[in-house]
C-alpha cells in the first residue's frame, strides 16, 4: 500500500499523525443515491473525521445540466471549494463511507481535473478509521474561505461525442466500473434509462474488484495490475473510465493512477447520459 502524500492514497496512520498540519484539509465526500434513503450530509453531521468538512458532489456540480453531478466550470469549482477552506498550497485528503465508491474517488478526480494534484484518498475510508477506534468529531467545522486556482485539464475529461467517436476508432480502451448485472443489462440502473446494458466495446471491471473486502483498502499494486491484465487492459494505451454517473469510474481512474497510469480520462455523463441518447448503440452480454 502506498502511503505518502505524493501518492493518490494515504493510510489512516499517516493521517492521524498529520491531523494538525496547517496545510492539511480533510473533506468528507460521502454521497448516496436517493433510493438508499441515506444522506451523506446527515452522516457527516453525526460523526466525521476531526477537522473535516463535507463536500457535496450534487452541490459542487453543473447546475445547468439535467444529468446528475456533472463537472462544474473551473470558476465555480474554485469558488465553492474555496468556501470549504481549501486553497492553493494545501494538501487535500478525501474520504467517504464506502472505500471511495460513494464519491471520495470522484472528488479526488475532480481536483485533478482542475489541475490540483496534491490530493489523496484516505485508504479504507471512514470504515477503517473507525474500526481502528481513531478519533471522530460531532462538532461542526466552519472553515475560513481560501483562494483556489482551478484550470480544466482536458485530457482527464471525456464527453458523449468523444466516447461515440471512440467506438469506431478504438483509440482508447473503455472500462465500465458498474457491477456485472448492470453491465450485462440483467439489472436496472439507478438513473432514468431507455435501455439496459453497456456502451459497445466496453470491458467490465467492477470498482469493488479493486478493494480488499476485509479492510476496505485498495489491493496491492501487483494485484491491481493482475486484475486489469486479466481483463485484457494495456496500461500503455489510452483508457476511458465509465460507470453509472461518473462516480465509481473514478475509483478505476484512481486505481490506474496508483499503478502508474496517471492520465486516465473519465466519461462524465457515463451511462446516465449514454442510455438516453438517440442514435447510439448499447450492448448486453
- Could you read off the pLDDT tens digit of each residue along the chain, which spans 285 residues? 333 334 899 999 999 999 999 999 999 999 999 889 999 999 999 999 999 999 999 999 999 999 999 999 999 999 999 999 999 999 999 999 999 999 999 999 999 999 999 999 999 999 999 999 999 999 989 999 999 999 999 999 999 999 999 999 999 999 999 999 999 999 988 887 888 999 999 999 999 999 999 999 999 999 999 999 999 999 999 999 999 999 999 999 999 999 999 889 999 999 999 999 987 878 876
Tell me how far apart the alpha carbons of residues 254 and 264 are, in angstroms, rounded to a whole number.
9
pTM of the model: 0.95
Q: Return the DSSP state at 141.
A: -
Name the one residue in this structure whose C-alpha cell is 486489469: 228
pLDDT score of 128: 98
Side by side, which strands form the sheet with 173-176? 157-158, 265-267, 239-242, 173-176, 203-204
Domains and CATH numbers, the chain: 9-152 (3.40.250.10), 155-274 (3.40.250.10)
Report CA torsion sign: 214, 220, 226, 228: positive
Residue 241: Cβ-neighbour burial (10 angstroms; 0-12, 13-18, 19+):
buried
Q: Which residues of 77-103 are buried (b: 16+ CB within 10 A; e: fewer)?
A: bbbbbbebbbbeebbbbbbbbbbbbbb
Q: What is the pLDDT of residue 285?
A: 63
pLDDT confidence of residue 188: 87
Q: How far is CA 67 from the centre of its chain?
A: 17
Residues 6+ apart with CB under 8 A from 83: 143, 145
Position 4 scores a pLDDT of: 33
- Kindly give the residue spans of alpha helices, DSSP state H, lying in 140-269: 160-169, 180-184, 221-230, 249-258
Which helix (H) or strand (E) element contains residue 171?
none
Catalytic residues: 243
Amino acid at each position: 500500500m502506498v502511503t505518502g502524500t505524493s501518492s493518490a492514497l494515504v493510510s489512516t496512520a499517516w493521517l492521524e499523525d498529520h491531523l494538525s498540519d496547517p496545510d492539511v484539509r480533510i473533506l468528507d465526500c460521502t454521497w448516496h443515491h436517493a433510493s438508499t434513503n441515506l444522506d451523506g450530509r446527515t452522516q457527516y453531521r453525526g460523526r466525521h473525521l476531526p477537522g473535516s468538512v463535507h463536500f457535496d458532489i450534487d452541490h459542487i456540480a453543473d447546475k445547468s445540466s439535467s444529468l446528475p453531478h456533472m463537472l462544474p466550470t473551473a470558476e465555480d469549482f474554485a469558488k465553492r471549494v474555496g468556501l470549504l477552506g481549501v486553497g492553493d498550497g494545501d494538501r487535500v485528503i478525501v474520504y467517504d463511507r464506502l472505500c471511495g465508491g460513494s464519491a471520495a474517488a470522484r472528488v479526488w478526480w475532480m481536483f485533478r481535473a482542475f489541475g490540483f494534484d496534491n490530493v489523496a484518498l484516505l485508504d479504507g475510508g471512514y470504515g477503517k478509521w473507525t474500526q481502528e477506534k481513531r478519533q471522530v468529531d460531532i462538532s461542526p467545522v466552519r472553515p475560513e474561505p481560501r483562494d483556489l486556482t482551478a484550470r480544466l485539464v482536458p485530457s482527464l475529461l471525456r464527453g458523449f461525442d468523444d466516447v461515440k467517436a471512440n467506438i469506431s476508432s478504438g483509440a482508447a480502451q473503455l472500462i465500465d466500473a458498474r457491477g456485472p448485472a448492470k453491465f450485462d443489462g440483467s439489472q436496472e440502473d439507478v438513473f432514468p434509462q431507455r435501455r439496459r446494458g453497456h456502451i459497445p466495446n466496453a470491458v467490465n471491471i467492477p470498482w469493488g474488484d479493486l478493494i480488499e473486502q476485509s479492510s476496505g483498502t485498495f489491493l496491492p499494486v501487483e494485484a491491481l495490475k493482475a486484475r486489469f491484465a486479466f481483463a485484457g487492459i494495456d496500461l500503455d494505451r489510452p483508457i476511458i473510465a465509465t460507470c453509472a454517473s461518473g462516480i465509481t469510474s473514478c475509483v478505476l481512474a484512481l486505481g490506474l493512477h496508483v499503478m502508474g497510469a496517471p492520465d486516465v480520462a473519465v466519461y462524465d455523463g457515463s451511462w446516465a447520459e449514454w442510455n438516453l441518447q438517440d442514435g447510439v448503440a448499447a450492448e448486453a452480454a
